[in-house]
């Protein structure tokens, strides 16, 4: 969606957190051996997060379902307007399961993430 691309990518309204090594890649031995993506399906309401510019939008709803070998997330949120109203925004993200480590889900080709961590 054009608004998201502008706000996140071009205008940098949602700043990226610099990598200070707080979230190291876990050792493969601590990863779950089995992960059923269907267990993640349903509605997830986001009420707080690490990035105050992004994780505090009103009415964030991430609704997940499985589709073939993917976990599909329909993500929606509201942006307050100066007149007290709101604009609803949404996007869809598709996650693919790592064939060797099923607890790792990849979400490539999403223009809002940089993928430098995987």
Residue spans per domain, the chain: 57-113
48's enclosing H/E stretch is none
pLDDT of residue 85: 92
pLDDT of residue 95: 92
Task: Note whether 1 and 91 are within 8 A (CB).
Answer: yes
- Measured CA to CA, the distance from residue 88 to residue 78 in angstroms comes to 4
pLDDT of residue 64: 97
CA dihedral sign of residues 73, 68, 98, 96: negative
Measured at the alpha carbon of residue 34, what is the angle toward residues 22 and 115, in degrees to the nearest 5? 40
pLDDT, one tens digit for every residue, the chain (118 residues): 566 667 666 766 666 666 666 667 788 899 999 999 999 999 998 777 666 666 667 778 899 999 998 999 998 988 888 999 998 888 888 999 999 999 888 887 665 555 555 4
Task: Note whether 54 and 46 are within 8 A (CB).
Answer: no
pLDDT of residue 26: 81
Tally of helices (H runs) and strands (E runs) in the chain: 1, 5
pLDDT of residue 66: 96
- Measured CA to CA, the distance from residue 8 to residue 26 in angstroms comes to 28
pLDDT of residue 53: 65
CA dihedral sign of residues 16, 3, 56, 37: negative
pLDDT of residue 118: 47
């Amino acid at each position: 969606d054009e608004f998201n691309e502008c706000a996140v990518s071009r205008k940098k309204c949602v700043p990226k957190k610099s990598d200070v090594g707080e979230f190291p890649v876990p050792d493969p031995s601590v990863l779950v051996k089995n992960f059923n993506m269907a267990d993640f399906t349903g509605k997830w309401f986001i009420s707080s997060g690490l990035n105050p510019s992004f994780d505090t939008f009103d009415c964030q709803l991430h609704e997940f379902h499985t589709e073939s070998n993917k976990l599909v997330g329909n993500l929606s949120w509201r942006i307050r307007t100066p007149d007290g109203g709101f604009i609803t925004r949404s996007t869809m993200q598709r996650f693919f399961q790592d064939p060797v480590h099923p607890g790792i889900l990849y979400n490539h080709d999403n223009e809002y993430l940089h993928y430098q961590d995987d």
